Amino acid sequence: MRAAVLRGQEDLRIEDVPVPTAGPGELVLRVGAALTCGTDLKVYRRGYHARMLTPDRLFGHEVAGTVVQVGEGVTAFSLGDRVIPLNSAPCDACFFCRNNQQNLCDDLLFNNGAYAEFIRIPARIVQKNTLHIPDAIPFEHAALTEPLACVVRGLEESGVSFSADSNAVDTQTAIVLGAGPIGLLFIHAASILGLHVIAVVKRKDQVATARHFGAEQVLRISDVPDPVAAARALTPEGRGAEIVFEAVATPEAWQWAVQMARKGGLVNLFGGPPRGTTVSLDTNLIHYSDLTLKASFHHTPAAARRAFDLIATGRFHAEDFLTGTATIEDLPNVFRRMLTRPADGIAPEIKTVVFPSAASEPMAQAAREEHA
């Protein structure tokens, strides 16, 4: 089969590799659709990921597909099932799992290989973190579950309720710094859950995009002399936001996030800067404003199910995040383009849908039209 293999820093190759087979407890899927991801871009740029993969490995992790092989002992899935396998599963036995922190599992099992014709799903992920996809949901929509699950967990860890009858967020204001894919996911999910969202963006094209995904107010940093003061001025009585989500991953954005929160507020430092990065923070401000600073990493099986529910119920507008298509053979060029931002005013791709072959795209389009 044809598959993308990461050979090193900015060295992504499309190669012929063996079709995987399902061992005990495992599944093999025919890939229906995979999605590009900011994490994959970071791994492509650096040539590795501290936890997810090392060079000379199959690449990609946001995927959905059809079961074509069922390993011995699997009873929850059958041939022909449409499924979304998450890219990890916890052990549920270590200290962190026992303390309801499965995202920090000492033996967190990751899986890669989404950019391929077929993908093998390890037994633990089959058992703990694979979900059935209703026929009405396109594969490419379901594949958004993984990044959305990370955002869902970030929202929950910041005190945002997903209860349908909760009115706790009715008066809450959230500032989201950044309007890349993760920032836009935060904007859209937070707005769905009832928060008043202020987006702080860099590029001209991001103003309209942030509004489209639910931001009630948008601040472009180059339009004001002091982004912190300008952002706070947009909040009720200029107090600052109850919650600030940082989705840029730069020291300056971390500093701004702390300064944009109201007294007693919470700052979620979601964006992960490179290893060794340091940030200088105003300790007086943090202490006397009684701020809560936290970070959110990855997702859990429970967060994945809540994310998938947002997509499956139609509350989350998945189709709007899918702004381009490609085949596996196109991938090296896709990632090279992702390294270079377009001129300001030209909207970049949010998510590119990668179909296993050119024939898959019209088939997927026909399915979308059938279920429209």
- Angstrom distance (rounded) from CA 28 to CA 22: 6
Can you give the pLDDT at residue 370? 39
With a cut of 90, say whether residue 286 has pLDDT above it.
Answer: yes
Phi-psi region of 319 (alpha: psi -120 to 50; beta: other; left: phi over 0): alpha
Q: Give all domains of the chain, ordered by start, each with its CATH number.
A: 2-150+299-371 (3.90.180.10), 159-294 (3.40.50.720)
pLDDT single digits (tens) 80-139: 999 999 999 999 999 999 999 999 999 999 999 999 999 999 999 999 999 999 999 999
CA 156 – CA 224 distance, rounded (Å): 32
DSSP assigned state of 49? B
End-to-end CA distance of the chain: 32
List, in sequence order, every beta strand (DSSP E) within 90-206: 109-110, 118-121, 130-132, 173-177, 196-201
For residue 239, with 0-12 CB atoms within 10 Å meaning exposed, 13-18 middle and 19 or more buried, which class applies? middle
pLDDT at residue 348, as a whole number: 72
Q: Is the pTM of this model over 0.85?
A: yes
Kindly report the average pLDDT of the chain as a whole number.
91
Does 371 score more than 50 pLDDT?
no
Rg (CA), the chain: 21
Task: State the pLDDT at residue 38.
Answer: 86
Q: Residue 210 contacts by C-beta under 8 Å, 6 or more apart in sequence?
A: 176, 179, 183, 184, 187, 199, 201, 218
Please report the pLDDT score of residue 48 as a whole number: 66
pLDDT at 367 over 50: no
Residue 52: pLDDT band with limits 50, 70, 90? confident
Of 23-37, 147-161, 240-254, 342-356, the one with minimum mean pLDDT is: 342-356
Sign of CA dihedral 108, 113, 114, 118: negative
Banded pLDDT at 345 (limits 50, 70, 90)? low
CA angle 73, 80, 329 (to 5 degrees): 110
Going by pLDDT thresholds of 50, 70 and 90, the confidence category of residue 365 is: very low
pLDDT tens digits for 232-258? 999 999 999 999 999 999 999 999 999
Mean pLDDT of 194-214: 96
| pLDDT of 167 strictly over 50 | no
Query: Is residue 14 over pLDDT 50?
Result: yes
Give the pLDDT confidence score for residue 51 in this predicted structure. Answer: 67
